[in-house]
Chains A and B, each alone.
Chain A
Amino acid sequence: MNTDQVIGKLRETFKDDITEVLKKSEKRAVVTISPGAILRVAEYLYKTAGLRFIIASALHTKRGFEIHYHFSLDATGLVLNIHVILDQDNPQIESLSNMFNASNWIEREMHELFGINFLNHPNQEKLISEGNWAEGVYPYRKEFK
């Protein structure tokens, strides 16, 4: 499967959930989806298309909390970013950790640093601060004027 085929299949399968597709090059693409579809999209990528979950990056921007889920198609070198934008006041999204263990730690980390809640996470304990950090204070959040 090449980059166009992966994007084409995604468009076809999740046409109601995809809000934007950006193909930067043969090896880099960004697909923005609605947060509610993350489980289905990730399941398709991991189980059907055979992509590997690299990591997820959370960002705090004026639009709210954004997560870029980075997937790799090792056969072609494609890095596919699945981009979701979460609500500013109540950031939450379904956890992927029941599907693969690779996302377990990073979801815990994003919960701890950004205060994003991962629904149905098997064990959303703190990963880094081990209780040495004040509750409800999220160090990687930003203040926008």
Chain B
Amino acid sequence: MSKKTLIPIGPYHPLQEEPELFKLFCDGEIVKDIKWETGYNHRGIEKLSESKTYEQVFFLVERICGICSTSHPFAFANAVEEIAGCEITDRAKYIRSFIGELERIHSHLLWVGLAGHFLGYNTVFMWAWKYREPVLDLFEMITGNRNSYAMFKVGGVRRDIENNKIPAIRKVIDDLKKKTDLLTGAVMDDPVIHARTKGVGVLTKQDVLDYAAVGPTARASGVAIDIRKDDPYAAYPLVNWKVITAEAGDVFAKAQVRLLEMFESISILEQCISGLEKTKEGEVNVVVKEIPEGHGAGRAEAPRGEVFHYVVSDGSNSPVRHKIRAPSYVNIATFKKACVGQTIADATISLAAVDPCYCCTERLATAYDRQSGRRILSAKEIIDLSIARTSELKKNTKQ
């Protein structure tokens, strides 16, 4: 039996500050098995939610994820509104979808940047994050916050987007379209990125169905599921757009799906703005007096995939049970398929490909040989391995 070396990635991932620990069991440079540990910072949000009122839960679930902070309130609002049986106004629908899509763009730009950073290709990182900045500024202009926008409530949204802001919003979106175009071209045509991501971390269609993966992870393997289309909510049935898929299932396909999705999101944003112009300012709320007894399943398509909230109400002012399923819960499990058999350098980008923001290289722990206790690789050496591989590919492509 060959001896396996344990290489831990974690227990904290610094870029997203997420407590996750991946244990890569390697034979030489090849990953033979992978195990995942979590729960270092288990926040007990489902339990906490039972002690909050429905209004307070919005602020609680908004803090589940710092990047896609609107997707959880979105799904929660859908669940509670299903129990209450209320229909929100068209203007509130447009605002909800507008926030949702703007968030998708900033999240995808963040991922593209991090993926570049992970490959040791920092130009992509700097470009993508530079282009993401105006999106966050736009958020600040509309909601008052760069993140955790506190826009959602039962029956509508907390703040209107005044029509006098529309010209400024249009300008940002027009600029964004040009920059996204530029970035997409640069990433999709780059031979180094092709060499590092094509055929790496492949997830087959059967794997996706087996693990019930969602979002761009599933769509990159040819499984065209998107809650915005399948179980339409907010303004998505009112606007035209298409679901982006790819067939290869590798890291490149996942990047391709995310990049092309941004154009669809920009198109939805433009249509939402036209929707805002057609509806009356200020009509963003309907009054919901009480949440009756019952249960509701709310879904929303977050940048990473389907967010699912299941709320059970006993007629009081707080949920009696609140189950939350974030997309990464099912997507992370696919690592077992995507990483085993790869080299360590490729495993790191495969881990990042489902978008748990994995470019946490400075926290990659030191690898020790289990038997002798001898240090094999330091964090810096593991990063250097990845960067060296990219440089080598760059050199080869030039020849």
Chain A residues within 8 Å of B, Cβ to Cβ:
27-28, 30, 52-55, 57, 59, 68, 70, 72, 74-77, 79, 81, 100-102, 104-106, 127-130, 132, 139-140
Contact = CB atoms under 8 A, between A and B. Distances in A.
Contact of A55 (B321, B329, B336): B329
B308 A70 contact: yes
Nearest to A76: B230
A74 B212 CA distance: 12
A54 B308 contact: yes
Contacts, number: 76
B37 interface: yes
Nearest to A103: B212
Interface string B292-325: 0001110100000010101010000000110101
B225 interface: yes
B44 A139 contact: yes
Given A28-B82, A55-B325, A77 B231 contact: yes
25 contacts: A28-B82, A52-B225, A53-B212, A55-B329, A55-B330, A57-B310, A59-B320, A68-B295, A68-B323, A72-B230, A72-B231, A77-B230, A77-B232, A79-B231, A100-B209, A100-B211, A100-B212, A102-B330, A105-B329, A127-B39, A128-B38, A128-B39, A130-B37, A139-B47, A140-B46
Nearest to A54: B308
B153 to A, nearest CB: 22
Contacts of B39: 127-130, 132
Contact of A74 (B230, B232, B323, B336): B230
B329 A27 contact: no
B38 A79 contact: no
A140 B324 CA distance: 14
A128 B19 CA distance: 11
B398 interface: no
Contact of B310 (A52, A68, A74, A77): A68
Nearest to A133: B39
Contacts of B15: none
User: What interface size band does chain B fall in?
Assistant: 20 to 34
B333 interface: yes
A102 B225 contact: no
Contacts of A52: 209, 212, 225
A50 B315 CA distance: 35
Contacts of A30: 295
B210 interface: yes
Interface string B32-64: 000001110010101100000000000000000
B325 A54 contact: yes
Interface string B191-233: 0000000000000000001111000000000000100001110
A102 B231 contact: no
Contact of A101 (B37, B211, B232, B321): B211
A59 B321 contact: yes
Contact of B333 (A27, A77, A101, A132): A101
A129 B297 CA distance: 27
Given A28-B297, A79-B299, A140-B47, A55 B38 contact: no
Nearest to B224: A74
Interface string B316-344: 00001101010001100100100000000
